[in-house]
Amino acid sequence: MKSACCPNRSWASLAGVALVTVFGLAAPVARAQSGFPINWLYPYVDYSQGYDSNIFRTPDDLAGLTRPDLSDTYRTITTGLVLQREIGRQVLSARLNLARNHFDRLTFLDNDSRDFQANWNWRLGSSLSGNLGTNSSKTLTPFTESHDQERNLRTQLRDTFDVTWEVLSNWDIQLSEKRSHQSFDLQRQQSSNRNLQDHEIAINYWGVKPSRVGLILHRTQAQFPINSRDLQGLELPNGFYNFDQLEAELRVDWYFSRKTSLHFRGGRIDRRHELFPIRNFSGNNASLRVAWAVSSRFNIRGQLYREIGSVDNLINSYTLNRGRALQWDWNASSKIRIDGTLRIESRDYLGVINREALQLEQTRSATLGLTYVPWQHVQLGLAGNHERLQSNFVNRAYRSNGINANVRYQF
């Protein structure tokens, strides 16, 4: 299998440079036309205060008189900048967030995070269009993914490119490439560093737009450049986690009316590992989403899915995930918005090398949020969340509750 190239050495990394250059050239023109403030530049500041009852997602089995208090309150100060600029038929957009996160009790988790996204939505002639984008972030790794009670910052890089060729009035061909890289600061987590390379080709037939039916071929190549170690501390062979995944899928986007739409994507998936064929997988992936605008102010979205997910440990190589989710939002007035989410996901840990019992888990989560805009540039938010994981393995099940309040000012 060919190795997945690190994205900072790929052509797509030029996306950020190109966008900065174009924005720099466009700025004098924009200032001349609109004066100050610039009407395509939106700086903002955000302050939030939150509480989490179980920061590290510590299992319930460890509860007791000797268990330390793992709840904490935290504060986040964010400064951000949003750019949205149209130049002819080209649309340029970018977002930059810089945040300082402070924990009241678990101060060793204090960190500075960042997130940068940029995209050039381009069009050439009457039949060619696409996107060139880049994304870079550095944040605290969620403790649902890493249960080490230490500060572990995760860096993620992603470069994307896609092009659509309108062959006929009702047909088009789409080609896309994505290169991504993920790395961790914590040394014992660095065996999970990975490089991914995705290629996709799709042929679409458009009915009454935006309804369409398409066939998709997708390939993912994954490389883990740092060797892992087994339970005895011995180094595992090169390519232990590497895999090559092929998918052939059907895509349907069907808009019944202006208020209701159905979105399906599903087909056959085949994942092959460089080592230990017992870790391979062949099966079906499917996702079904339905969106319904009940009224001009109330929207509902539902989803059912069955898919495989990656797991990087010595026993399992992937999970089979089956889930359902319900989202809704209600614009109660011009200044008040209420939204919520309910999600249930079951995971079967597969790709087993040596285990007597199959690990089974289920996560139930719920969120509820309130947004209030008292004045034109000020936004207040309040959100609560609940998460519970159940497992047939000891020292896995946990529950957590959280609440967060924030105030944002956009200049």
- Record the pTM: 0.83
Question: What is the pLDDT at residue 292?
Answer: 97
Burial class, 162, CB count within 10 angstroms (exposed 0-12 / middle 13-18 / buried 19+):
middle
Question: What is the pLDDT at residue 309?
Answer: 79
pLDDT 10s digits, 186-233? 888 888 899 999 999 999 999 988 999 999 999 999 998 887 765 556
The secondary structure of 48-91 as a DSSP string is EEEEES-TT---GGG-STTS----EEEEEEEEEEEEEEEETTEE
Cβ-based neighbours of 376, under 8 Å, separated by 6 or more? none
The secondary structure of 144-174 as a DSSP string is TT---SS--EEEEEEEEEEEEEEEETTEEEE
The CA distance from 161 to 332, in Å, is 39
Beta-carbon-side half-sphere exposure of residue 374 (alpha carbons within 13 Å)? 6
The letter for the amino acid at 10 is S
- Nearest-CA neighbor of 201 among 216, 212, 214, 213? 216
pLDDT of the chain, 411 residues: tens digit per residue: 444 444 444 444 444 434 443 443 333 333 333 333 577 889 999 999 999 999 998 887 765 555 667 899 999 999 999 999 999 999 999 999 999 999 999 999 999 999 999 999 999 999 999 999 999 999 999 887 776 788 999 999 999 999 999 998 899 999 999 999 999 998 888 888 999 999 999 999 999 889 999 999 999 999 988 877 655 567 777 878 889 999 999 999 999 998 999 999 999 999 998 887 877 888 899 999 999 999 999 999 999 999 987 765 556 677 889 999 999 999 999 999 999 999 999 998 876 655 566 888 999 999 999 999 999 899 999 999 999 999 888 778 899 999 999 999 998
Question: What is the pLDDT at residue 335?
Answer: 96
Question: What is the pLDDT at residue 394?
Answer: 75
The CA distance from 285 to 268, in Å, is 6
